[in-house]
């Protein structure tokens, strides 16, 4: 069973590394993320994290008194930062490249870890972790999609009223629906088709 591997590791692995401060904290957060990615929320234990980080259980509990506290910080530290949408010369290419970045965040190790948390833990804990992805992925990516659309409006290749909330929600909505319901992992070809078949016609300036 998944739990047994970590339990045995916690009992038999010698604590051999002497680290302090941020170096030790980074090792503990990395170990927590690794457990989430492999054994999930239900299989993660503080003992297993300590073994993975090659430190004592007390060092983990001193910094994070609960499993929920540790996981929240591990996810927050690991989720990719979406801070700027590069200008590739057209709204089509800007959206394509931005969607690839969002896809990579969704399917990164931290993205898989976050989904395991949301699917397995109780509703109260899930609400806390959902706030992390809203703050670090959904809100930043939505703002970047809005920035791309507004940049296209300045260029003249996007209609002037396209920065509406419902328009901005189309890409995240499609990506989440097809990921969760259809099992799509959004290869580049599917992203290109979404942009060409849905977004470019939706954003195109009115004729006449």
Cβ pair 51, 20 in contact under 8 A: no
**What is the per-residue pLDDT across 127-146, written as a single tens digit (0 to 9) for each?**
777 777 778 778 888 999 99
Show the DSSP H helices in 17-134 as ranges: 21-38, 40-43, 46-53, 57-63, 67-78, 91-106, 109-120, 123-133
pTM exceeding the 0.75 threshold for the entire prediction: no
Task: Look up residue 16 and give its two tokens.
Answer: 């051999």
How far is Cα 174 from Cα 188, in angstroms, rounded to an integer?
A: 15
Taking only the tens of pLDDT, the chain with its 208 residues reads 444 444 444 444 444 456 678 899 999 999 999 998 888 888 999 999 999 999 999 999 999 999 989 998 998 888 877 778 899 999 999 999 999 998 888 888 887 787 777 778 777 777 777 777 778 778 888 999 999 999 999 999 999 999 999 999 999 899 988 987 888 899 999 999 999 999 999 999 988 6
Cβ pair 178, 170 in contact under 8 A: no
């Amino acid at each position: 069973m998944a739990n047994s591997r970590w339990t045995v590791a916690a009992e038999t692995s010698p604590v051999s590394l002497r680290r302090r401060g941020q170096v030790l904290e980074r090792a503990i957060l990395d170990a927590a993320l690794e457990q989430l990615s492999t054994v999930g929320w239900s299989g993660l234990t503080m003992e297993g994290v300590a073994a993975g980080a090659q430190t004592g259980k007390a060092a983990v509990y001193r910094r994070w008194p609960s499993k929920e506290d540790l996981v929240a910080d591990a996810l927050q530290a690991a989720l990719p930062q979406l801070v700027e949408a590069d200008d590739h010369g057209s709204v089509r290419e800007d959206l394509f490249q931005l969607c690839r970045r969002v896809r990579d965040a969704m399917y990164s190790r931290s993205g898989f870890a976050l989904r395991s948390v949301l699917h397995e833990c109780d509703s109260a804990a899930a609400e806390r972790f959902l706030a992390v992805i809203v703050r670090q992925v959904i809100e930043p990516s939505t703002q970047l999609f809005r920035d791309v659309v507004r940049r296209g409006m300045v260029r003249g290749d996007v209609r002037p009223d396209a920065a509406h909330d419902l328009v901005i929600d189309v890409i995240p909505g499609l990506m989440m629906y097809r990921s969760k319901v259809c099992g799509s992992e959004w290869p580049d070809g599917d992203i290109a088709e979404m942009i060409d078949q849905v977004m470019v016609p939706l954003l195109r300036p009115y004729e006449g």
